[in-house]
Amino acid sequence: MNLVVVSNRLSRGNANEPMTGGLAAALLPIVEKSGAIWVGSSGRVRDGAQKEPFAEIEALGTGALAMLDLPAAHYGGYYEGFANSALWPALHSRADLIRVSQGDYLSYREVNAFMARALLRFRKPDTVFWIQDYHFLALGAELRDLGVTQPVGFFLHTPWPAREVIAGVPHHRELAEAMLAYDLIGFQTEDDYENFAGYLSSTLGLVVADGVVTSPHGKTRIAVFPIGIDAEKFARQAARAISHPDVSRLRRSLNGEKLAIGVDRLDYSKGLVNRIKAFDQMWTAQPSLARTVSLLQIATPSRGAIEAYGNLQSELAKLVSDVNGRHGEVDWTPIRYLNKGFSQTVLAGLYRTAQVGVVTPLHDGMNLVAKEYVAAQNPADPGVLVLSKFAGAANELDTALLVNPHDIDSMARTIAMALSMPLLERRMRWEAMMIKLRHHSIQHWFASFVDVLELARAERSVVVQDVVEPPTWWPLRSANG
């Protein structure tokens, strides 16, 4: 088998470089070892005069990285536009933030079609294509239009929301139709699966039976594959990183004070405003906690050209400065707030230094920071994870202190409780989480998706004559249903 993995963002394989987002960080170690070709955006654009999609190729472990320059005329409409101003807010149940235009949608489709053409050069008879995330919902359909008959699977790293929310994206039907060209569609959680299956039956009138939906494209299997991490490797990295200069400096600066840590992209789905308010509330309600615990919040800037992200950055900067102004002392800063990225190596050491990890998104596909925080802990004296019940990770990490990120008072009380939790309880909770992390490793995620994809393709070719009659709306390439 020749595996071709596709995602918008790539990672070049240096554990000492800052990493943006869980997807690239998660894929890197397994792609390196699997011998796959990993294709994605180079981050550069080119004008439309190019005849062939330009790809710079470099070795990555036993495989290769292919970095494509995307078309300049469509990049903005695709990335800042449709992917991150229409799909991202919808997928995270923020219909109020959806900004959409027909032009952006067309650019999104153009980039999906461009990527499909670029992938043809990597196709061999035994190739398996695995497409990642919401940037490429329509890529499978574009590949099929180009005559690709090899297995093509798709994994969504974000949630799939309730039917009424996705319907806020005017092109939802044609996108869902395009998705059914995939042989296998993977989700992070049962809820995402149920929402998608519910959408297919209630909005598209299709029947989903035993995880299989039959459409004019043939059969598509849908299934749940919660993404994991390499917990043992991360633990080793964390133990080593404790002597990294950045980590040692942090430890020295604490003077014995406790530390809570939050590490997020600066994104409205991450619940950062509510988190800062919860710390404010905690220090107000329990003044004795001033000087005994501070928060290190790393908020890596992301998608800054989009208005909602710019607004959030300003709101957070103001809020943090207000909280620091009210609770701070000449020799004590309650919140250390950093707008930059850190390497996996340094992050591992920072997580191990912190007695509390706060991961409180309003909605998140999985959230690998939660898993990494747990894996990084010292087994003899582990920290406590405070985790939003609306992160996919809460399904497995159910012995974390689970919180509702909208309930600021309760979050404040829970963080205080985490700070005073006895060692025995901390160890019991942590050990239970580590068992789950070891069991649901990234290697297991990767291998089980690829296995089910090959099976799903085999099922599909058996029944290819048995396709259903197209419903009246099928295919809707240009309407805004």
Strands across the sheet containing 208-209:
55-60, 63-71, 37-46, 2-6, 127-132, 152-155, 184-187, 218-224, 212-215, 208-209
* Residue among 133, 183, 264, 364 flagged as catalytic: 364
Nearest residue to ligand G6P, using CB? 21
Closest separation in Å from C-beta 22 to ligand G6P: 5
Helix (H) or strand (E) holding 380: none
Six-digit token string for 234: 């991360």
Six-digit token string for 289: 């906690």
Six-digit token string for 109: 């489709």
The distance in angstroms from the start CA to the end CA of the chain is: 39
- The site map against ligand G6P for 256-295 (x = CB under 6 A) is ----------------------------------------
157 catalytic? Reply is: yes
* Residue among 92, 135, 157, 172 flagged as catalytic: 157
- How many Cβ atoms sit within 10 Å of the Cβ of residue 168? 18
- The site map against ligand G6P for 11-40 (x = CB under 6 A) is ---------xxxxx----------------
Three state DSSP letters for 169-195: CCCHHHHHHHHCCCCEEEECCHHHHHH
280 catalytic? Reply is: no
Question: Mind giving me the DSSP string for 296-328?
Answer: EEEEE--STTSHHHHHHHHHHHHHHHHHHHHH-
Closest separation in Å from C-beta 302 to ligand G6P: 5
Closest separation in Å from C-beta 280 to ligand G6P: 27
The residues in 117-146 that bind ligand G6P, with binding defined as CB under 6 A, are 133
Q: In sequence order, which residues have a C-beta less than 8 Å from that of residue 195 and are 6 or more positions away? A: 159, 160, 161, 162, 163
Nearest CB to ligand G6P, comparing residues 157 and 327: 157
Closest separation in Å from C-beta 75 to ligand G6P: 12
Residues in the chain: 481
303 binds ligand G6P (CB under 6 A): yes
Nearest CB to ligand G6P, comparing residues 270 and 429: 270
The residues in 143-162 that bind ligand G6P, with binding defined as CB under 6 A, are 157-158
Closest separation in Å from C-beta 309 to ligand G6P: 10
Closest separation in Å from C-beta 359 to ligand G6P: 14
Q: Are the CB atoms for 110 and 71 separated by under 8 Å?
A: yes
Residue of 371, 377, 415 lying closest to 395 (CA atoms): 371
Nearest CB to ligand G6P, comparing residues 23 and 139: 23
Q: Whose structure tokens read 């297995």?
A: 151
42 binds ligand G6P (CB under 6 A): no
Catalytic residues: 157, 364
Contact positions toward ligand G6P, by CB under 6 A? Answer: 8-9, 20-24, 133, 157-158, 302-303
